Structure 1
Amino acid sequence: MRRGRRTFGLRHRLVAAFSLVALLVSAVFAISTYLLARGYLLAQRERVVQHQSFADAVFVQRRLESAGADVSAVLTAAGTPAGHTIILRWHDQWYASALDQGRDAVPASVQQEIAAGRSVSQRFRSADGPALVIGVPVRTAEAEFYEIAPLTELDGTVRLLSGILLGGALLATAAGAALGVWASRSVVTPLNRVAITAASIAGGDLDRRLAATDDPELATIVGSFNSMVDTLHQRITRDARMAADVSHELRSPLTTLVGSVDLLNARRDELPERSRKALDLVTADLQRFRRLLDDLLELARSDAGLDQRPNTVIDLGGLLRQVLGEAGAGPPAFPDGDDVFVAADKSRLGRLFRNLFDNANTHGSGLTGVTVTRSGDDVLVLVDDSGPGIRPEDRESVFERFATGAAKRGSSSGTGLGLALVAEMAAAHDGAVWCTASPGGGARFVVRLPEAERES
């Protein structure tokens, strides 16, 4: 099984890019500076030691050429700088200016070069640390001259330099990361504003717009976005008002038809059997048409933004008892007490619950219970029915407009707008509605509404 690769966001990628570039630049600079400085310091040190060594070699050569020369006295009289050691091979004997030094202190490769008659300079690591050895053949005295100079102080200087350069590289990387954070915020913040504004518009706030900006790079985007939203708002408003107008114009002929059918129903006993059956079909279709028209008017009103924000505090328990009484059902259950108040439009909230109860009775084999409970600062109204329930994959689509058919629990007698209206009206009251399984079988619809304080 393949695991999905983790994808980093734009902000993280920008910070990582700035940090990586800063690290690469500072690393190249630090390494170049270190190599150049180290090479220059070593070359300078080597030239100084070579100059001193050749001068000491000439001094030793002159003393050895004199009769009866004391080698130990000669090495002592050479006056080498502090820390330097002179090692001399003369007449197959090894002499040194330091008691703890001797033939073993000189690398074998250096001895081989001197034996071949060539002067040599070589860096090596002795027991006391890094050192530089200069070898000079003294042919006139048939001797081999070696001078060893310690490089410990120079090595410490180079190490200090490397530490400073490493710290500078890390500091430059941190500065690059900080610059990346600033740059990413400058890039991502406008995108976040667009995303937040787009989400608000998608949530129904069609009056939301992007704030004007003085940034010439963003001004075109902001202007285009706001112009697009204005056009979209105008089109939605125009379509919604047209739907509302069409639905309103249909009410007059519908009222005439309903009146005519009611008149026929008043004298249905005078009609033959076939005419009475036809009258029943027409009556049922007219009732369904009237419900559909009322639902369309309500949805059109909501889409056009004509609904006022509910600001009246009402007794939720009293409203539920009234609607349940109209439906011929028992009172709701209040496990947390009866004093539950919400800010709502009473008529619209009553229609919300009326649609839910009608849905339970029509499509859910009957309403089995209504329970009111609290969840934090919200009120939950649980509506249970005794039907076959709703499949998990259909629990969101039942709130879509014109969602009817076998997929909706085997009944297509409704308009397909009842639950869509429930969702619209719940959202208009800053709430929500969803469907789940009832503990006793069937479906459970949960309406969440913000609880309000009782008006004094």
Structure 2
Amino acid sequence: MRFVPGTFGPRALGLRHRLVLAFALVALLVSAVFAISTYLLARGYLLAQRERVVQHQSFADAVFIQRRLESAGADVSAVLTAAGTPAGHTIVLKWQGQWYASSLDQGRDAVPSAVREAVADGTATSQRFRSDDGPAMVIGVPIPTVQAEFYEIAPLTELDGTLRLLSGILSGGALLATAAGAALGVWGSRSVVTPLNRVAATAASIAGGDLDTRLPATLDPELATIVGSFNSMVDTLQQRINRDARLAADVSHELRSPLTTLVGSVDLLNARRHELSDRSQRVLDLVTADLHRFRRLLEDLLELARSDGGLDLRPGTVIELTSLLRQVLGETGREATLLTGPEDLHVVADKPRLGRLFRNLFENAERHGDGLVGVEVARSEGDLLVFVDDAGPGIPADDRERIFERFATGPGGRGSSSGTGLGLALVAETATAHGGTVWCSASPAGGTRFVVRLPEAGA
């Protein structure tokens, strides 16, 4: 399996998840340090206190036993019983080479060997160890006056339970603090990400053509500057786009009058072309072709200016898509038999603009794709798809997105000088304005297939 950098780990997480994780980790670290330090301090204090208590008791018991053993004829068992040790404590005594214990199940082996060796050398010592009954502490005291070794074993079970309870409480507190840190991270990340999402949504709406969208005013002084700057930028952008759109529209309108006059003059010459010489007729044909191309370019520019400036947009109405396609085929001089697909498919659209979209695709197939060979309508998951196939050589995969750019032309028939480079750009912008998309692919018949996706009305 190939590893893709950035697929796993913190970089693969979104900003909100990284913030929550950071808050949780910081809370866990702080609470863990606090819990561990508190446990260690409490454990050290409780053990030291317990050790002092046991040592005091053990030395007192050792003095008591020493005094009793100094008496002649002392009964060791009676002495150990009379010592009155606290409940759970066990006394182990070595006297005159014999081992005695206050408990029947305890004896020499109950005392760790290291303690026995130290006491045998004349040194009082203490040690914590784990016996069969649980944690315990032993205090060893040499009694040289009677040649005895005194050991007192005190259980630490109660203290161990207290420490276990304390560790559980501290661990639970650390987990609770971590959860609180994660919750704080969720709140903090939401406070950070929500304004960013609002900016992203507003920017996407503006990019989709709704130039009147603005960020709402905010009382947050940290965000007020950003909101104001963003809205000011959009205002400036909208003014520039509107100015450019009005300029293009004005220029197009101003060019229409001389163009109409020029078209009328050329039509008059074509009506009397039989009076012209062969050479003059060829020149007239060239002028007529260029004039028609210029007029088509002017109409496309005017339509783009209206689209950019939001001008001349009619409210959408519900139209029957198959009937519209059949009508456009008839207007462009093509047989309705080219159309296949079900009837009664409806879309909400500006009918003239949607008709122009399909007219541009049909003319593009005739002009650059060696002829239109089929138009198919289909339904797909709440959308309507229109397939337009031509008989041309196809479009290279690298150029299938570029052809929808303005003034994009290519070599050969599809990008010949007879095209304006605006027809497919208008197709893409019109499809987007109707909530759809358009793309190009290879036709099953070997040519080029243009696919128009439009949302179905009522779906």
User: For this structure pair, what is the TM-score category when the shorter chain's length is used for normalisation?
Assistant: over 0.9
- Percent of aligned positions with the same letter in both sequences? 78
Which residue matches 2:341? 335
Cα gap change, 1:273 to 1:184, in 2 (>3 Å) = same
Give the aligned length: 452
Q: CA deviation at 1:384?
A: 0.9
Q: Is the 8 A contact 1:244 1:301 kept in 2?
A: yes
Matches within 5 A, 1:203-214: 203-214=208-219
Output the amino acid matched with 1:389. Answer: G
Cα gap change, 1:407 to 1:51, in 2 (>3 Å) = farther
SS at match of 1:329: coil
Cα gap change, 1:410 to 1:345, in 2 (>3 Å) = closer
Q: TM-score normalised to the size of structure 2?
A: 0.95
Which residue matches 2:382? 377
Output the amino acid matched with 2:367. Answer: T
1:161 aligns with 2:162: no
Q: Is the 8 A contact 1:390 1:408 kept in 2?
A: no
1:292 aligns with 2:297: yes
Cα gap change, 1:401 to 1:9, in 2 (>3 Å) = same
Computed over aligned residues only, the root mean square deviation of the Cα atoms, in angstroms, reads 1.5
Output the amino acid matched with 2:368. Answer: H
| Further displaced range: 48-57 or 440-449 | 440-449
Quote the Cα distance in structure 1 between the aligned partners of 2:264 and 2:335. Answer: 33
Q: Is the 8 A contact 1:310 1:343 kept in 2?
A: no
Which residue matches 1:31? 36
1:59 to 60, 64, 83: 64
1:417 aligns with 2:418: no
Quote the Cα distance in structure 2 between the aligned partners of 1:220 and 1:116. Answer: 82
Quote the Cα distance in structure 1 between the aligned partners of 2:216 and 2:103. Answer: 84
Cα gap change, 1:67 to 1:183, in 2 (>3 Å) = same
Output the amino acid matched with 2:277. Answer: P
1:257 aligns with 2:262: yes
Q: TM-score normalised to the size of structure 1?
A: 0.96
Which residue matches 1:3? 4
| Further displaced range: 48-57 or 263-272 | 263-272
Quote the Cα distance in structure 2 between the aligned partners of 1:356 and 1:437. Answer: 15
SS at match of 1:189: helix
Output the amino acid matched with 1:129. Answer: G
Quote the Cα distance in structure 1 between the aligned partners of 2:435 and 2:306. Answer: 17
Matches within 5 A, 1:359-374: 359-374=364-379
Quote the Cα distance in structure 2 between the aligned partners of 1:410 and 1:312. Answer: 35
Quote the Cα distance in structure 2 between the aligned partners of 1:416 and 1:164. Answer: 75
Q: Is the 8 A contact 2:92 2:100 kept in 1?
A: yes
SS at match of 1:370: strand
Quote the Cα distance in structure 1 between the aligned partners of 2:362 and 2:339. Answer: 15
Quote the Cα distance in structure 2 between the aligned partners of 1:341 and 1:91. Answer: 113
Matches within 5 A, 1:218-237: 218-237=223-242
Quote the Cα distance in structure 2 between the aligned partners of 1:87 and 1:316. Answer: 104
2:179 to 151, 174, 178: 174
Structure 2 unmatched ranges of 5 or more: none
Instruction: Summarize deviations over 1:235-292 as a string: whole Å, max 9, x none.
Output: 0000011011011101111112111211222222222222222111111111100000
Q: Is the 8 A contact 1:87 1:97 kept in 2?
A: yes
Matches within 5 A, 1:20-419: 20-331=25-336, 332-336=338-342, 338-406=343-411, 409=414, 411-419=416-424
Cα gap change, 1:309 to 1:429, in 2 (>3 Å) = farther
Q: CA deviation at 1:427?
A: 2.0
Instruction: Summarize deviations over 1:407-456 as a string: whole Å, max 9, x none.
Output: 88453420011111111222222222211221111111112223336xxx
Q: Is the 8 A contact 1:22 1:173 kept in 2?
A: yes
Q: Is the 8 A contact 1:134 1:147 kept in 2?
A: yes
Q: CA deviation at 1:140?
A: 1.0
2:444 to 439, 442, 445: 439
SS at match of 2:387: strand
Quote the Cα distance in structure 1 between the aligned partners of 2:227 and 2:65. Answer: 88
